[in-house]
Structures are given as C-alpha cells and as structure tokens.
C-alpha cells in the first residue's frame, strides 16, 4: 500500500507564499505520476499540477501557471508544491495524489482525479484578502 501525507498548509495574506510537501511511504516512486489537486468549499475538486516522477516533466492548470511549481526530491520520496503570489481564490484543501502509471502529460487524463488511486488526507491553505 502507498501512503501520502501532506503538510505545509496554513494561513497567508494575498501575495504571500507557501510550500506544500507530500511525503510518500510504502514504496519508492521511481516511476509513475504525482499530482496536486485542490477543493474549495462548495466547489468540485480541481487539478492543480502534475509531475512525471521518473523524468521530472511537469504540467499545470492555467489558473496557477507562473505562480506554482511542482518538484520532487527523489532521495526523500517527497513531492513539493511551491505556491507564490497567492490569491484568495487559491483558498482550498490541497490534496496530494499518486498513480503507479506513467500518465502522459501531453494528453488530458492526468488532469482527472480518476487517474490517481492514492490520495493524501489534505492540507488546508487559506489566503486572506
């Protein structure tokens, strides 16, 4: 089994920054796909960013391009989401997700929650206005 644990959420003001971490356990991710999703109150879960573990290729939702960066530390089996220039609309619970499949980031399926079968518990990010 794979376990994912997010951390790093909190309360920041508009324009501030946070870095989320997703620590993995249960197996080593030498391949596969990692992603971040978020869900705001009353809204459906939406894709934020994805990373191909083996090669490091990344993809982003249009709403966060230029502001968020997904990365990984292979030695620590950890994925990060650096969030800069935060806006109130970024307020949500952020979830780390993983798939053992190497989804193509040139397609669209990687943006769907159904592409991932392992999920963290979520970490709250609140951006005050």
Share of the chain above pLDDT 90, in %: 86
CA–CA distances in Å: residue 62 to residues 1, 46, 106? 32, 11, 15
Q: What is the pLDDT of residues 74-103, one digit of tens each?
A: 888 899 999 999 999 999 999 999 999 999
Q: What is the pLDDT of residues 32-59, one digit of tens each?
A: 999 999 999 999 999 999 999 888 899 9
Beta bridge partners, 69, equal 82
């Amino acid at each position: 089994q794979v376990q994912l644990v997010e951390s790093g959420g909190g309360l920041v003001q508009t324009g501030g920054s946070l870095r989320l971490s997703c620590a993995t356990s249960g197996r080593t991710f030498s391949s596969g796909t990692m992603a971040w999703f978020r869900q705001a109150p009353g809204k459906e879960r939406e894709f934020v960013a994805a990373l191909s573990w083996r090669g490091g290729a990344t993809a982003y939702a249009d709403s966060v391009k230029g502001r968020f960066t997904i990365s990984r530390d292979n030695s620590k089996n950890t994925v990060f989401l650096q969030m800069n220039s935060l806006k109130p609309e970024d307020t949500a619970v952020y979830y780390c997700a993983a798939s053992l499949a190497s989804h193509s980031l040139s397609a669209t399926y990687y943006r769907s929650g159904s592409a991932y079968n392992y999920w963290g518990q979520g970490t709250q990010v609140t951006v005050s206005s």
